[in-house]
């Protein structure tokens, strides 16, 4: 006997392990009317969980996670949970629904089947996260082939003069889009030994910002070169400088995100990743979205 019901304070602890840690706080917001949390049980045992939220003033509904315990898969629980969340979000007035999920290599076909049966659109690739073995990558010749023209210099992150830093702040909004800003707040500060500025005739025209997210892993957060210089190869030279610095620091792994969604993708970066970086990936996560 199975049952689909709302999560409340009496059963939240039994089901919170069925979603990602970053979403568990939503389950405890009992009086938050924008949250949808549906639990599936089989003869009283937790079988699955769906967690969703009405966003943007209630216009759009986003399904944060859908999980069915392995022993209860292929029994229809996933479909029933999805229909439960859809109904609740529609009652809230959500005109558009979105679900995001990770392709872990095992459940992609099952998720696509559930979405298709419930009338959702074909999944679209949103982004890809690669974890690269930098020690293996360091043996590649291209890292050492690039040489900057005389007008350019690469400066370690901490060595930039305060006056230059203030000059950049004054023109930042004209130079780069917000997501590439070196001034945006982040929970982890730049890793000084592997982050660099690119200067052309003493003007800052680019930067690479890395962050140490684990003792053995460096996250390549931002790689930016001024728009008129983006086809000159300066971005690759900046990246090569950061990778060589990472090798000197003996940090074995590097992670980076490649966006694929319409309006945000960078085809040259995608091609470069496929050719130069992905062959050395020890792990790849692909994030997909579907809409209804």
- Domain containing residue 284: CATH number: 3.40.630.30
Structure tokens at 161: 């003069």
Asked if residue 53 and residue 21 are part of one domain, the reply reads yes
Q: What is the pLDDT of residue 22?
A: 86
pLDDT at 30 over 60: no
129 exposed, middle or buried (CB, 10 Å; 0-12, 13-18, 19+)? middle
Q: How far apart are CA 209 and CA 201, in angstroms?
A: 21
222 and 196 co-located in one domain: yes
Shared domain check, 135 and 97: no
Whether residues 272 and 192 fall in one domain: yes
Query: Who has greater pLDDT, 290 or 112?
Result: 290
Last residue of a domain, one of 97, 122, 147: 122
Residue 142 and residue 270 in one domain: yes
Residue with more model confidence, 214 or 266: 214
Q: Are residues 230 and 118 in the same domain?
A: no
Same domain for 179 and 144: yes
Where does a domain end: 96, 122, 148? Answer: 122
Segments forming the whole domain that contains residue 69: 2-122
E-assigned strand segments in 157-226: 196-200, 203-214, 217-225
In terms of domains, do 74 and 184 share one?
no
- End residue of a domain, out of 84, 106, 122: 122
pLDDT of residue 24: 87
What domain count does the chain have? 2
């Amino acid at each position: 006997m199975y049952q689909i019901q709302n999560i409340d304070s009496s059963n939240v602890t039994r089901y919170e392990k069925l979603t990602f840690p970053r979403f568990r706080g939503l389950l405890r917001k009992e009086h938050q009317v924008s949250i949808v949390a549906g639990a599936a049980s089989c003869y009283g045992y937790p079988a699955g969980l769906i967690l969703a939220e009405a966003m943007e003033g209630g216009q759009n509904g986003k399904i944060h996670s859908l999980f069915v315990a392995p022993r209860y898969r292929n029994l229809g629980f996933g479909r029933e949970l999805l229909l439960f969340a859809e109904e609740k979000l529609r009652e809230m007035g959500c005109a558009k629904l979105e679900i995001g999920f990770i392709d872990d290599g095992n459940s992609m076909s099952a998720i696509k089947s559930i979405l298709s049966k419930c009338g959702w659109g074909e999944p679209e690739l949103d982004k890809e996260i690669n974890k690269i073995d930098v020690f293996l990558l360091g043996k590649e010749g291209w890292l050492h082939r690039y040489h900057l023209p005389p007008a350019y210099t690469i400066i370690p992150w901490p060595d930039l003069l305060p006056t230059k830093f203030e000059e950049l702040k004054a023109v930042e909004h004209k130079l780069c889009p917000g997501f590439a800003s070196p001034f945006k707040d982040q929970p982890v500060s730049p890793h000084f030994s592997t982050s660099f500025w690119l200067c052309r005739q003493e003007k800052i025209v680019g930067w690479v910002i890395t962050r140490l997210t684990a003792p053995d892993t460096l996250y390549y957060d931002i790689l930016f070169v001024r728009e008129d210089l983006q086809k000159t190869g300066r971005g690759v030279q900046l990246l090569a400088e950061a990778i060589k610095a990472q090798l000197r620091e003996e940090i074995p792994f590097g992670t980076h995100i490649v966006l694929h969604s319409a309006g945000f993708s960078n085809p040259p970066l995608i091609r470069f990743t496929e050719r130069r970086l992905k062959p050395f990936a020890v792990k790849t996560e692909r994030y997909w979205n579907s809409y209804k």
